[in-house]
Amino acid sequence: MIERLLIRKNLPFQLYEVNLKEAGEEDLLNISINLGLSLSLDEMKKIKDYFMDKGRNPTDVELQALGQAWSEHCCYKSSKVPLKMYLFDVAKDRIVTREDAGVMEFDENHYYVVALESHNHPSAIEPYGGASTGIGGVVRDVICMGAQPIALIDPLFFGPLDCKYEDLPKGVKHPRYLFKGVVDGIRDYGNRIGIPTLCGQVFFHEKYIGNCLVNVGCIGIMKKRNLVHSMISKPGDILVYVGGRTGRDGIHGVTFASAELTEESEEKSRSAVQIGDPIMKEPLMHATLECVEKGLLEGLKDFGGGGLSCVCGELAYNAGVGVEVNLDKIPLKEIDMAPWEIWISESQERMMFVVDKKNLEEVLHICKKWDVLAVPIGKAIGEKVIRVFYRGFKVLELDVDFQVAGPVYDSCKRPHIPRRTEEKEEDFPMPNLERAFLKVVSSPNVSSREWIIRQYDHEVRGCTVIKPLQGIVGRESHGDAAVIKPLENSFKGIAVTADVNPNFLDKNPYWGACSAVDEVCRNLVAVGAKPDSIADCLNFGNPERSRVMGDFYEVCRGLSYMARSLNIPFISGNVSFYNECNGIAVPPTPQLTAIGLIPDIRKCVTVDFKKEGNPIYLVGETKRELGGSEYYRLLKLEGGIVPRSNPNLLKRYMDAMLKAIWKGCIGACHDLSEGGLAVCIAEMAIGGWVGADVDIGNFSNGLREDFKLFSESNTRWLVEVKEEKEKEFERLMKEKKLKFYRVGTVTGERLIVRNGRKELIDLDVDRIDKAWRRTIWNAMG
């Protein structure tokens, strides 16, 4: 159809002129489809106007470059407006900079750096490669600020592991296969590059069957003076291509990420998945950081979505200059690649150094020492133009501003209708509590994650001071957050947690988003860390649907409300749309990875019960908020109110809790989340391998027993207070006028829960341990 518009140039290599001059509207759309540009008609028209102004037709290289730069994934065209409106300005003055990764102050001489990304579509097609290159990409984001990566984070979302094969849509892989492939990929890549995988989350839900979510995060630490920006410093600077070779793997990755998955995705988009090479990455990391430490780099950028094209465009755009690049210099995996393929390939393990001429020799020597390829490929020029040459011919010439700025969609272009949520708690007969308890404890979303965590090296680098699994060795339970001590000569620590409850968001995006912020803050406080910043990965369905866009706005509004009141900035993240398969979108999933700081890691607290005789306190208020709860899900109840949150109240609770922890009043602490109070006590008992005697009679009077046990109300912790510090603890809570209840004691080998004299649960801790620990092992082997 469009062949007549493609004019092959008479050159010794493949280059087409695309005849936009004679292309009608239908042709424009067909060009976009056939060249895999994923651009809309409006965008194609804009491009046509641009070239008509210049009085010539574009080359295929130019069209491909624009397709990459203007894709949803690269320029955030659907989300820019709401993100600006709600998130970008929250606690902005606390952020040092927000580029490929977010940078925050750690102490007087150091910054910490955070990057969080999604790698959903590649992982749905090829889980092993998709997940490992996801890690590779996010690690490069951190390195390219000049920071040493110190921790990896991997929040994952899959369909139920026991999903029947008949229920899988055509072309979709089984959740068990995806889960295993993703964990293998993260393990093999993360372990090999020697960065500990510190925390994550795994969530199972029917709506992830067709489109699993694989989010990946990385944290780094750096000296303040080593901060490098993603920009050129001046005309004349040399662009040095460093790392792996360029191949045909990972072509059209970003446009693939910006469209829905279909049953043909496997066939059509396999080439969009890149291939990772951790043993290229490891020395690349060393070489880059050595150059940074020696002050040899003017600018630094990693190759992400859009390949060379986006890297050159952004380096130039951020500095208000242009670049000239010679494609002949690019090291290739296959020599017969067309210029457009070289220009947009997303092959992994590549970085771009911006180097002043006088430092070039030293930079090349360092790379050579590490056996890392390094080749000067072009230079910065004063004119704001990108020019690309191949075998002596100019194959691309674009104005930097036109390519990089991209079209921004304002709210009228992407209609958004918030959904109406009607929530009601309905009455139903109370089931047997002991049985319900065991069922909740062993449900896939609650049960032990040991199967995954033990496959990741979470201790390499020797900085992990609070591990993801906590408790008696061999009996460990889940921690709320992990803590690293990044500097040899300082006891200051960084706590990390990753959370979101998609069940809440599926019912109520606004309060679900608020709950996610509440939960990550609770998690950090539970180990003794003060929440400092949040990275957000916003995973949604197709933004061209007003409902999806409506959810997106609601989520942003919720995140903004909470974070603004708490003065916590969003320092990194990405937006991943089109997470749909056959018309079923994933639940709105704003995955949050939060960072907390703790002045002295020796004050940290873990979840496991420590000592018999210590009193147990419930801090916070328990309400009838069971919408989206694990309890209702297992009872197959649809209704219920999604938990609310009040950031000002949360702040008061956090302050008091941190004071109590830092003063050494607390033996163990755990936040209440999925499965509520019941799961919380169980996990604390399992980790300490000791029982507890708990009476739920003295709080939330009038609330039914099962609601007290399984409600997932926000802003609550269960705390083991040291016997001798009871008075001090109570005084601290009273001072702030907070709700707290002494509910029991750490004792014996059984977990006993009663309501006054009425016994509700009486189980051996070993029995609970077995129910909790085996679920994923049994499913995965």
Partner 1 sequence: MKREDIRVAILRIEGTNCEEETFRAFARLGVNPEYVHLKQLLGMDCRKNERRDIFDFHCLVIPGGFSAGDYVRAGTIFAARIKSKLSKELKEFVIQEYPIMGICNGFQVLIELGLLPGIDEIISDYPKACLMTNDSNRFECRPTYLKCENRGKCVFTRKIKKGEIRLFPSAHAEGRLVLLFGKEKEMLKKMEENDQIVFRYVDPDGNYAGYPWNPNGSVDNIAGICNHIGNVFGIMPHPERVFYGYQHPDWTRHGYREFGDGRDIFESVVDYLVRKL
Q: Does 51 bind partner 1 (CB under 8 A)?
A: no
Q: CB of 467: closest distance to partner 1 in angstroms? A: 5
Q: Which residue in 56, 368, 435, 663 binds partner 1 (CB under 8 A)? A: 368
Q: CB of 192: closest distance to partner 1 in angstroms? A: 4
Nearest residue to 99 (alpha-carbon basis) of 38, 140, 42, 153: 140
How large is the angle between the packed helices 647-662 and 546-566, nearest 10 degrees? 50
Q: What is the dihedral of CA 303, 296, 101, 469, to 10 degrees?
A: 100
Nearer to partner 1, 232 or 453 (CB): 453
Q: Please identify which of the residues 110, 119, 252, 365 carries the catalytic annotation.
A: 119
The question of whether 478 is a catalytic residue gets the answer: no
Q: Does 370 bind partner 1 (CB under 8 A)?
A: yes
Binding segment for partner 1 among 447-455, 577-585, 620-628, 723-731 (CB under 8 A)?
447-455
Q: Does 466 bind partner 1 (CB under 8 A)?
A: yes
Q: Which residue in 455, 490, 542, 755 binds partner 1 (CB under 8 A)? A: 455
Nearer to partner 1, 26 or 600 (CB): 600
Q: Which residue in 48, 119, 229, 485 binds partner 1 (CB under 8 A)? A: 485
Q: Which residues contact 582 (CB under 8 A, 6 or more apart)?
A: 169, 210, 262, 263
Q: CB of 370: closest distance to partner 1 in angstroms? A: 7
Q: Which residue in 77, 173, 229, 467 binds partner 1 (CB under 8 A)? A: 467
3-class secondary structure, 328: helix
Q: Does 470 bind partner 1 (CB under 8 A)?
A: yes
Angle subtended at Cα 608 by Cα 604 and Cα 612, rounded to the nearest 5 degrees: 110
Q: Does 399 bind partner 1 (CB under 8 A)?
A: no
Q: Please identify which of the residues 73, 205, 416, 458 carries the catalytic annotation.
A: 73
Alpha-carbon distance values, 655 to 160, 195, 619, 662, 712 (Å): 38, 32, 13, 11, 21
Contact 161, 779 (CB under 8 A): yes
The residue type of 686 is I
Taken in order 762, 766, 768, 771, the sign of the CA dihedral is negative
Binding segment for partner 1 among 44-52, 405-413, 469-477, 531-539 (CB under 8 A)?
469-477
Q: Does 599 bind partner 1 (CB under 8 A)?
A: no
Q: What is the dihedral of CA 249, 252, 258, 263, to 10 degrees?
A: -70
Nearer to partner 1, 514 or 605 (CB): 605
Site string for partner 1, 184-223 (x = CB under 8 A): ---x---xxxx-----------------------------
Nearer to partner 1, 457 or 723 (CB): 457
Q: CB of 773: closest distance to partner 1 in angstroms? A: 12
Q: CB of 333: closest distance to partner 1 in angstroms? A: 18
Q: Does 602 bind partner 1 (CB under 8 A)?
A: yes
SS3 annotation, 171-205: CCCCHHHHHHHHHHHHHHHHHHHCCCEEEEEEEEC
Q: CB of 330: closest distance to partner 1 in angstroms? A: 22
Q: CB of 486: closest distance to partner 1 in angstroms? A: 11
Q: CB of 276: closest distance to partner 1 in angstroms? A: 11
Q: CB of 102: closest distance to partner 1 in angstroms? A: 24
Query: Alpha-carbon distance 697 to 709, whole Å?
Result: 11
Nearer to partner 1, 365 or 663 (CB): 365
Q: Which residues contact 460 (CB under 8 A, 6 or more apart)?
A: 191, 194, 195, 196
Count residues contacting partner 1 (CB under 8 A)?
A: 45
Q: Which residue in 56, 329, 365, 663 binds partner 1 (CB under 8 A)? A: 365
Quote the strand ranges of 527-622, DSSP E: 530-539, 570-576, 580-581, 584-585, 589-598, 615-619
Q: CB of 14: closest distance to partner 1 in angstroms? A: 34
Binding segment for partner 1 among 466-474, 541-549, 646-654, 672-680 (CB under 8 A)?
466-474
State how far Cα 137 lies from the chain centre. 12
Q: Which residue in 151, 156, 351, 469 binds partner 1 (CB under 8 A)? A: 469
Residue identified by tokens 């197709």 is: 542
Q: Does 465 bind partner 1 (CB under 8 A)?
A: yes
Binding segment for partner 1 among 230-238, 409-417, 456-464, 749-757 (CB under 8 A)?
456-464
List % helix, strand, coil for the chain (3-state, nearest 5): 40, 25, 35
Q: Could you tell me where the DSSP H helices lie in 646-739?
A: 647-662, 676-688, 705-710, 726-735
User: Where does residue 640 fall: left (phi above 0), alpha (psi -120 to 50 degrees), or beta otherwise?
Assistant: left
State how far Cα 214 lies from the chain centre. 8
Binding segment for partner 1 among 257-265, 292-300, 606-614, 738-746 (CB under 8 A)?
606-614
Query: Alpha-carbon distance 1 to 27, whole Å?
Result: 8
Q: CB of 668: closest distance to partner 1 in angstroms? A: 8
The question of whether 110 is a catalytic residue gets the answer: no
Q: Which residue in 80, 461, 547, 651 binds partner 1 (CB under 8 A)? A: 461
Q: Which residues in 92-111 contact partner 1 (CB under 8 A)?
A: none
Nearest residue to 525 (alpha-carbon basis) of 348, 666, 332, 724: 666
User: Where does residue 448 fall: left (phi above 0), alpha (psi -120 to 50 degrees), or beta otherwise?
Assistant: beta
Binding segment for partner 1 among 74-82, 260-268, 452-460, 653-661 (CB under 8 A)?
452-460
Q: Does 779 bind partner 1 (CB under 8 A)?
A: no
N-term to C-term CA, the chain = 52
DSSP string for 292-308: HHTT--SEEEE--TTHH
Nearer to partner 1, 380 or 494 (CB): 494
Binding segment for partner 1 among 62-70, 106-114, 457-465, 634-642 (CB under 8 A)?
457-465
- CA neighbours closer than 13 Å in the CB half-sphere of residue 130: 30
Query: Alpha-carbon distance 687 to 720, whole Å?
Result: 13
Q: Does 488 bind partner 1 (CB under 8 A)?
A: yes
How large is the angle between the packed helices 546-566 and 509-527, nearest 10 degrees? 40
Query: Alpha-carbon distance 719 to 522, whole Å?
Result: 12
Q: Which residues in 640-669 contact partner 1 (CB under 8 A)?
A: none
Q: Which residue in 474, 613, 702, 756 binds partner 1 (CB under 8 A)? A: 474
Nearest residue to 438 (alpha-carbon basis) of 430, 427, 447: 447
The residue type of 98 is R
Q: Which residues in 273-312 contact partner 1 (CB under 8 A)?
A: 278-279, 282-283
Binding segment for partner 1 among 230-238, 267-275, 600-608, 616-624 (CB under 8 A)?
600-608
Q: CB of 273: closest distance to partner 1 in angstroms? A: 20
Contact positions vs partner 1 (CB under 8 A): 187, 191-194, 278-279, 282-283, 365, 368-371, 453-467, 469-474, 476, 485, 488, 601-602, 604-606, 608, 610
Which amino acids are annotated catalytic? Answer: 73, 119
